[in-house]
Structure 1
Amino acid sequence: MDYLEFKIECLEEFREILIAELAEIGFDSFLETEEGIDAYASEADFDRERFDELIAGYQEVAQITLTEAVMPKVNWNEEWEKNYDPIEVEDLVYVRASFHEPKSGFKHEIVINPKMSFGTGHHATTFQMLRHQGEIDHAGKRVLDVGSGTGILAIMAHLLGAGEVEAFDIDDWCVDNGNENFDLNGLQTRMGLGTIRQVNPMGTFEIVLANINKNVLLDEMEIYAGLLPSRGFLLLSGFYTEDIVDLVEAARPLGLELIKQSSKDNWAALILQKD
């Protein structure tokens, strides 16, 4: 099965949102480049009409230029070895691929087989989520990772001493990769498949993590709030700094108070606490 390769040059602040949008229409692998992203889709499953519509919607605002090619089926692990760099979140955690050497000077280490772009920590959203996790006591807590991707935030919760970790994602590719990464890091839980409404997590969670996108966060905010006990924490990211007001306003009527906010490369992250 051949793959279509699209080399997309765009403004840096649009890379992650384009990856998310392309994943929704069937693209299954991505590589970030200095100019933008390389996106890959199976030729058999490619929907030209939806792709053209998506690109047209971002063409001007993201300053997109596009090059298309057909290539044989890709060895993604080999491609990642060429393009993946370890991640350092201050002295808190060192996130490396299994083909990288360990590095001293960090409180924690996460080892992953990076088979896709989501959640690898290179994005400013995941970096900030990891940093915020390091500021919250996880010891013995129940933690829920919504839209877990490669599972890095769930693994971080485990390393920080969480008593129980649940995680799920809507993409079966993420679930397979996430479970592999859980095994690499000694996390016994299995990642579920589906939306939060389909998975329907039961009970309360002292910490809920959600690094998705603005529209999903707004749609699911009431569910997150309902899963938190009094003084429980909700950590959010996946949206721009200009969207902070909308998220905070949606959270406030649900008894969620803004404790801290941060931004990196115009991407924002919030720590909210239930009253």
Structure 2
Amino acid sequence: MQNNNYIEYTFTVSPLQPATDILIAQLGEIGFESFVETEVGALAYIKKEDWSDDMIASIQILYNPNFDIDYKIIEIEQENWNATWEQNFNPIQVGDACVVRAPFHEKPDVTYDIIIEPKMSFGTGHHETTYMMMQHILNHDFTSKSVLDMGSGTGVLAILAAMKGASPVEAIDIDNWCYLNALENVERNHHPEIKVIEGDASLLEGRKYDIIIANINRNILLEDIPTYVSCLNTNGLLFLSGFYSEDIPVILDKCKEVGLLFENNLERNNWVAVKFKCIS
């Protein structure tokens, strides 16, 4: 029977920056999927099935003499996730118009008020890649655009796209927990028109979109970019994130190979979110 529990690392970091940002980036690279920055460092979460007790031995910043980083580890059952999250999840403001918050937070006075109950799914706005993808969405016209949120996690990007007038919107994730969580969040934000699907890029054959958002990781993106392009309408947009600035050349090469035109990118703590246009 699959163990769906998570391992929580509580890191105490001194001085806080830039060590905390570097730590989160390096943890993300080895498979940690959710993070919460705290007043003294960060919390990091990974599925127990993906964890080993020696895996963070490869985290270089732990050995940097300029920083003092301590940590402790506990196992969290899925059923206890909500209580854990409520203790640590703070609202995230993206620009002047958007806030991502939990149901127990006070309602803000913003145009786009997104309520997320994460339940171990990636995508709350705390991580740089989600934050930047939300910036991209806020900066572009999504009115009446058909949109795919690939690797949707909590569904937050699909929800923001729908709030900005996108239709139809589909959200796909291979993880069952993410799929179920996205269904709940779509309903919670009153966007039942968003179609949430469990699966991977093999489901995309025959589908067409004006905009595709894919916040996954470099290797999966490199494998799936040709599929995304085959699903884009002419002049369609592809937003990619989940990789570092040093990965941009290989991503650019793959996108150029399949006929995409680079337009711009955002960068936040060495993570990037890149915009391409389909010109074929």
Same fold (TM over 0.5): yes
**What displacement does 1:30 show?**
6.1
Residue in 1 that maps onto 2:16: none
Q: Is the 8 A contact 2:267 2:273 kept in 1?
A: yes
- Report SS of the residue matched to 1:51: coil
Aligned-partner residue type, residue 103 of structure 2 = S
> Are the structure 2 counterparts of residues 66 and 91 from structure 1 closer, same or farther at C-alpha, using a change threshold of 3 Å?
closer
* Larger CA deviation: 60-69 vs 81-90: 60-69
Q: Is the 8 A contact 1:4 1:68 kept in 2?
A: no
Residue in 2 that maps onto 1:202: 206
List per-residue Cα deviations over 1:159-218 (Å, max 9, x = no partner).
Answer: 011110011111111111110000011222342112111x23532100000011111111
Residue in 1 that maps onto 2:217: 213
Q: Match for 1:113 among 103, 114, 117? A: 117
Instruction: Determine the C-alpha separation between the residues in 1 that align with 2:76 and 2:134.
Output: 36
TM-score under structure 2 normalisation? 0.83
Q: Is the 8 A contact 2:179 2:198 kept in 1?
A: yes
- Report SS of the residue matched to 1:75: helix
**What displacement does 1:86 show?**
0.7
Residue in 2 that maps onto 1:255: 259
- Report SS of the residue matched to 2:118: coil
Structure 1: where are the runs of 5+ without partners?
A: none
> Are the structure 2 counterparts of residues 8 and 117 from structure 1 closer, same or farther at C-alpha, using a change threshold of 3 Å?
farther
Instruction: Determine the C-alpha separation between the residues in 2 that align with 1:195 and 1:62.
Output: 35
After TM superposition, list the pairs within 5 Å mapping 1:134-173 onto structure 2. Answer: 134-173=138-177
Instruction: Determine the C-alpha separation between the residues in 1 that align with 2:259 and 2:78.
Output: 50
Q: Is the 8 A contact 1:16 1:123 kept in 2?
A: no
Please report the RMSD computed on the Cα atoms of aligned residues, expressed in angstroms: 2.8
> Are the structure 2 counterparts of residues 38 and 51 from structure 1 closer, same or farther at C-alpha, using a change threshold of 3 Å?
same
Residue in 1 that maps onto 2:198: 193
Matched, 1:7 2:9: yes
Residue in 2 that maps onto 1:78: 83
Instruction: Determine the C-alpha separation between the residues in 1 that align with 2:127 and 2:37.
Output: 10
Q: Match for 2:235 among 231, 234, 240? A: 231
- Report SS of the residue matched to 2:100: strand
Instruction: Determine the C-alpha separation between the residues in 2 that align with 1:152 and 1:70.
Output: 26
Residue in 2 that maps onto 1:37: 43
List per-residue Cα deviations over 1:96-135 (Å, max 9, x = no partner).
Answer: 111011111x221111112226100011111110111122
Q: Match for 1:243 among 243, 247, 250? A: 247
> Are the structure 2 counterparts of residues 14 and 228 from structure 1 closer, same or farther at C-alpha, using a change threshold of 3 Å?
farther
Matched, 1:100 2:139: no
Instruction: Determine the C-alpha separation between the residues in 2 that align with 1:187 and 1:125.
Output: 23
* Larger CA deviation: 217-226 vs 133-142: 133-142
Aligned-partner residue type, residue 244 of structure 2 = Y
Instruction: Determine the C-alpha separation between the residues in 1 that align with 2:212 and 2:76.
Output: 40
**What displacement does 1:69 show?**
4.3
Q: Is the 8 A contact 2:147 2:169 kept in 1?
A: yes
Instruction: Determine the C-alpha separation between the residues in 2 that align with 1:129 and 1:66.
Output: 30
Q: Is the 8 A contact 2:208 2:232 kept in 1?
A: yes
**What displacement does 1:60 show?**
3.3
Q: Match for 2:131 among 122, 127, 134? A: 127
**What displacement does 1:68 show?**
3.6
Instruction: Determine the C-alpha separation between the residues in 1 that align with 2:229 and 2:241.
Output: 16
Instruction: Determine the C-alpha separation between the residues in 1 that align with 2:4 and 2:240.
Output: 37
After TM superposition, list the pairs within 5 Å mapping 1:21-60 onto structure 2. Answer: 21-22=30-31, 31-33=36-38, 34-39=40-45, 46=49, 51-52=52-53, 54-56=55-57, 58-60=58-60
Paired residues in the alignment total 263
Structure 2: where are the runs of 5+ without partners?
A: 14-18, 64-68
Percentage identity across paired residues of the two chains: 37
List per-residue Cα deviations over 1:219-271 (Å, max 9, x = no partner).
Answer: 11101111111110000111111111221111012111111111011110111
Instruction: Determine the C-alpha separation between the residues in 1 that align with 2:232 and 2:149.
Output: 13
- Report SS of the residue matched to 1:161: coil
Instruction: Determine the C-alpha separation between the residues in 2 that align with 1:59 and 1:266.
Output: 16
- Report SS of the residue matched to 2:60: coil
> Are the structure 2 counterparts of residues 124 and 39 from structure 1 closer, same or farther at C-alpha, using a change threshold of 3 Å?
closer
Q: Is the 8 A contact 2:6 2:78 kept in 1?
A: no
Instruction: Determine the C-alpha separation between the residues in 1 that align with 2:217 and 2:55.
Output: 17
Q: Is the 8 A contact 2:24 2:35 kept in 1?
A: no
